Amino acid sequence: MLSARNLHVTFNAGTPIETRALRGMSLDIPAGQFVTVIGSNGAGKSTFLNAISGEQGVDEGAILLDGEDVTRQPVWTRARKVARVFQDPMAGTCENLTIEENMSLAFGRGQFRSLRSAVRAEMRDLFRERLAMLGLGLEGRLTDRIGLLSGGQRQAVSLLMAALRPSRILLLDEHTAALDPRTAQFVLELTARVVSEHRLTTMMVTHSMRQALDVGDRTVMLHQGRVVLDVQGEARRGLDVPDLLAMFERVRGETITDDTLLLG
Amino acid sequence: MSIYSVWGALEIGLIFGLVALGVLISFRILNFPDLTVDGSFPLGGATAAILIHHGMDPFLATACATLAAGLAGMVTGWLNVSLRIMDLLASILMMIALYSINLRVMDAPNVPLINDPTVFTVLQPEGLDDYVARPLILLALVVAVKLLLDWFFATQIGLAMRATGSNPRMARSQGIATGGMILLGMAISNALCGLAGALFAQSQGGADISMGIGTIVIGLAAVIVGESIMPSRRLVVATLAVVVGAVIYRFFIALALNADFIGLKAQDLNLVTAVLVTVALVIPLLKQRLRRKGA
């Protein structure tokens, strides 16, 4: 499970463009839960995700994965427990490498890398089997450069790669945002399938309120670097996009009032 | 061109094939523009020459030279990874530092190897002239190094190194300590250049402080020529292509310097190199322009 406690991140501290991206952000995600995260631009979604992955250091607070404090661990050490799919389809794979080489890299996540051959016959069988579930015919193209694939195909492969090794948390960073609507739908359905098949603890950042309510078990809304809404179960099932939008507006209004009070 | 200069061009070409393989690792695989080469090549030559001169076994001396150059590459990597100095600048700093270090190693501007044993004199078979034996010995070595690199880059560590150069963010998210990979890759790259320098000193009768000038340009020229004659994204092809590129490049130089009617002399070597590299770099652009005009 993931436990983020009182995270603070400030960019350009002490300068006129100081931005307090996270202001006491706390969130617990129990094992096996699929959480969707929404919030406007600058709400701290990406910063929060990067703080968990280790790409963004935190000024204050702690991040625990299965009880282990990983706050000070670099990205590559945390990778043992954290799997990730990036927003940019180009970011999650090495375009110069073949499909099987990319998958082999992901198959080595959290493993000791030695001078053994990187792609072996038994791996190829596993890769083919996983790729076949996409129904894109990629299982016959293991030695093709991954740069030859479309953005959607690369994103689908990235998802499979993230699930090749167990993780304590799977981070999805608006991973359908760069795709056309049909491909986005395909990748989203694939996400739901992969997550439930491997029972992955997942945190998905999204811009789409529709997506946030349609997939997963719980929705969290961020605003100004804090959790302002957290719904799951019965309460969440009854929610629709307009409700969420209304809550969003109200939250925004409240914080503005807060600020006014502070200024007063 | 006489038969001597043909074998001679092959010999030097093969030695620079090792440099080209090193440059392929830094520039192409790690995506690290590394000029350390201009210092690590003479470091290899200087180390081998001084050790042989003091009576060390030439093979052991060559191994020491390779190791020393590898260490130099690692320092460049460390300047970049740990001290966050920009890659190109880190390598320039190391290149400058090595100039002094090389003078210290030799304790003189040059160390001649006239009657001392070299790896070539030891390995030279009976009844074969030295100018034929040296290129053949080098050919065997370069092929072995190429195959070794092909094997390495297909291993888990080798693949992790390629990922580091290709997409460091992705590599880190897959659990690869990219800093360590840069150190290792820079060490291997410069070790190959040091090996080349050690062999160059032994084949040319000594080490000289100025032997490294322009090494990086020759290495790059070999890579670029190789890539343009054998374009492929496959690494096993690329490792062959750069060696072939180095030999072809050397033949061009030999031809240019041997054709009396052009009037070029040995001191024009670096100018010819620069012109050749410029031409090789501009050809793709010219091709593109021609195609656009035709369309």
Q: What backbone phi and psi angles, to 5 degrees, belong to A229?
A: -150, 140
- Which range, A178-192, B36-50, B227-241, B244-258, has the best average confidence (pLDDT)? B36-50
Classify B3-294 by CATH class: mainly alpha
Average pLDDT value for residue range B18-47: 97
Query: Considering chain B, what is the average pLDDT of its residues?
Result: 93
A262 falls in which pLDDT band (50, 70, 90)? Answer: very low
Distance separating alpha carbons of residues A175 and A183, to the nearest angstrom: 11
Report angle CA B113, B118, B124 to the nearest 5 degrees: 130
Residues of B in contact with A49 (CB under 8 A): none
DSSP labels, A216-259: SSEEEEEETTEEEEEEEHHHHHT--HHHHHHHHHHHHHHHHHHH
Residue A165 lies in a domain: yes
Of A77, A96, A108, the CB nearest to B156: A108
Mutation site for B-interface testing, chosen from A52, A75, A84, A160 by largest number of B Cβ within 10 Å? A75
Number of domains within chain A: 1
Choice among A91-105, A147-161, A207-221, B138-152 with the minimum mean pLDDT:
A207-221
pLDDT at position A208 is 87
The pLDDT value recorded for residue B255 is: 83
> Is the predicted pLDDT of residue B254 greater than 90, yes or no?
no
pLDDT at A264 exceeding the cut of 60: no
Q: Is residue A44 part of a domain?
A: yes
Is A50 a member of any domain? yes
Interior CA angle at B116 toward B112 and B122, to 5°? 130
Domain of residue A259, residue span: 2-93+150-263
Count how many residues are written for chain B.
295
**What number is the average pLDDT over the span B49-67?**
97
Full DSSP string of B72-122: HHHHHHHHHHTS---HHHHHHHHHHHHHHHHHHHHTSSEEE-SSS--HHHH
Residue of A nearest to B28 (CA): A96
Contact B172 A75 (CB under 8 A): yes
Is A109 domain-assigned? no
Does any domain span residue A117?
no
The pTM of the full predicted model, rounded to 2 decimals, is 0.92
- pLDDT score of A159: 96
Tens of pLDDT, residues B153-171: 999 999 999 999 999 999 9
Identity of the residue in A91, A97, A111 whose CB atom sits nearest the CB atom of B169? A91
**Within chain A, what is the greatest distance between any pair of CA atoms?**
69
Best mutation target among B153, B156, B181 (most A Cβ atoms within 10 Å) is B156
3 state DSSP class of A134: coil
Residue A261 confidence (pLDDT) above 90: no
A47 at interface of B, judged by CB pairs closer than 8 A: no
% of residues, chain A, pLDDT over 70: 96
Distance of residue B36 Cα from the nearest chain A Cα, in angstroms: 26
What digits encode the pLDDT tens for the residues B72-123? 999 999 999 999 999 999 999 999 999 999 999 999 999 999 889 999 999 9
Q: B177 to chain A: nearest residue by CA?
A: A76
Nearest-CA distance B213 → chain A (Å) = 32
Residue range A194-235, pLDDT digits in tens: 999 999 999 999 988 889 999 999 999 999 999 999 999 988
For residue B262, name the pLDDT band (cuts at 50, 70, 90). Answer: confident
Give the pLDDT score at A158.
97
| Nearest Cα residue in chain A from B178 | A76
User: DSSP letter string over B123-137?
Assistant: HPPTTS-HHHHHHHH
Decide if A106 is inside a domain. no
Of B162, B170, B175, the CB nearest to A92: B170
| pLDDT of A260 strictly over 60 | no
pLDDT confidence of residue B291: 81
pLDDT of residue B285: 81
Q: What percent of chain B has pLDDT over 70?
A: 98
> With a cut of 0.85, is the ipTM above it?
yes
CATH number at residue A178: 3.40.50.300
Cβ(A215)–Cβ(A190) below 8 Å: no
